[in-house]
Amino acid sequence: MSDNGGAPYGPGSADEPTSFGLQPPRPQPSYVPHPDNPYAQPAPAPAAQPTQVAPPRQPDPGAGRVVAGRYRLLSKLGNGGMGTVWRAKDETVDREVAVKEPRLPDQLPERERSKAFERMRREARAAARLDHPAVVNVHDVAVEDGQPWIVMEFVQGRSLGEALQEGTLGVREAARVGLEVLGALEAAHAAGILHRDVKPDNVMLGRHDRVVLTDFGIAHIEGETNLTDTGGFVGSPEFIAPERVLGQRPGPASDLWSLGVVLYAATEGVSPFRRSNTPATLQSVLNATPAAPASARGPLADAINGLLQKDPAHRPNAAQVRALLERAAEPPVQPPTQVVRIGSAQGGIRLGRKALTGIAAGVVVLAAVAYLVLARPFAGPLPDGWEKHRVPELKATVAAPAGYTESKPGADAPKGAHWVQYTDASGAVWVSLSVRRKAEDSLNEIAKDGAAQAYADNKDFESSGDSNIGMASEPAPKGDPKPTTYKGDDEAGANTIAYQTSETSGSLKREVRILYVKAKGDMYELMIGYPREGDFADRGREVADAAVANLEIENS
């Protein structure tokens, strides 16, 4: 297999021959059951929480070099087929970036080197043209010794491929990740761009539940010169769609096939088409049908089975896939209310997408209580009709109106999930408390005090836009961080964030109140979510006032 181009996406492109004597899909496919698949990897126990890719202890060769007079290389983040990705410091604007260094064999002819460098420049143009939170931001293309170095945003986190070395994803998490990747692909396809190499290693899992699709280095842009030699294509063999293997003209359905393979591997722990060599892998793409998903159920299984149809004409389109994944990502319904999980796979409760967008306006039947605002002293008398809930695992007591349904992390929750939530039967108002443990803070995300945490988190909320505040639509989420007091601690923090959800059933204006208190190195976050406008906005703010006033932290 060569790595020098891909079949074009666009009218007027002829089909191309393929190699290895591969045979088209057979009418009766052979099945590959899980027990007989030698490429399934055993899943070790999950780590306490995902961490950013760590640099080696010894400096990498080349570390300290300054590229284009401004980008100082710090450490290697990873290697790909066409280059090495470095963590670097942009010394002009004082920020960390990721820089992709071109890497080509010394014996490669000059013509091939020129084509490869053109492909890297094309990666930058492809990604820079796209405006989507799940597409990596490209800042610059720096030329050093005639070679293009692509400068991108530094996404703190790790790849999906690395995460899958520790175990598979649950149905809801896989659907959430799939929705983000699908959104990136929809944006690319609308701009006439095929990604052509969708795989777990090119999906980054960042902070605050952000998912980013990277590496458009082999993407084809409609209207640009095709860099493919006859009979060749690029991409990772086990994720390449059958039509590309046969040298046929690819389209958006080819990227969707790759997404289906990613979702299968993410939930089943098996790379369904991988074999011991490239020809065998490509042959399995054409003829082998993996066993039906066992871990993925319901709409997610339907999406995977549909995407892995050999004939692209039989695959669901992006809109159909989105509908299935949205259903799969919905939180489970537990009578008498829908339990909304607020959390992040990286530990601690964050303003996750489903936690905010899944809360719909409804009728609140509890009596209105006007009580205690944030600026007043804490630990006032408990309002009538309220209950206090001691949560031993959090070493805290949370107050909420009687009748609110309690939810906590389940048995399958990742390590580092420390939270409790109380939700009104309508789903319109909720009270939650989470703790970020100092012992689990490998990324040093806990600030020096509650006030500093409020400002730091608000910066992330507002700068990341809809990636952090539950698919918020325009305008961007807006917070109001400020110092406050908690039982004499004048370094606590508070924030009130206004945001707007993007729902198929209609946009909802919401608000969330947050109190930050640091106790013995751990960061406590009390959050209350409620409608920002409408009949229940005042009731929600009353609940927030009383919940803040009656929080009790044993470590403080």
Phi-psi region of 457 (alpha: psi -120 to 50; beta: other; left: phi over 0): alpha
Distance CA 242, CA 233 (A): 12
Q: 3-state class of 535 per DSSP?
A: coil
R_g over Cα of the chain = 25
Largest CA distance in the chain: 81
Query: Which residue, among 489, 527, 491, has the nearest Cα to 378 in the 3D structure?
Result: 489
Q: 3-state class of 332 per DSSP?
A: coil
**Residue 100 marked ligand-binding:** yes
Options 15, 131, 197, 209, the catalytic residue: 197
Distance CA 384, CA 495 (A): 26
Query: What's the 3-state SS for 190-243?
Result: HCCEECCCCCHHHEEEEHHHCEEECCCCCCEECCCCCCCCCCCCCCCHHHCCHH
Distance CA 234, CA 414 (A): 36
Residue 27's contacts (CB-CB under 8 Å, 6 or more residues apart) are none
Residue 300's contacts (CB-CB under 8 Å, 6 or more residues apart) are 171, 174, 175, 178, 263, 267, 293, 324, 325, 328
Distance CA 411, CA 215 (A): 36
Count of residues in the chain: 556
Burial class for 360, CB neighbours closer than 10 Å (0-12, 13-18, 19+)? middle
Query: Which residue, among 371, 370, 395, has the nearest Cα to 555 in the 3D structure?
Result: 395
User: Catalytic residue at 197?
Assistant: yes
Binding residues for ATP: 100
Active site residues: 197
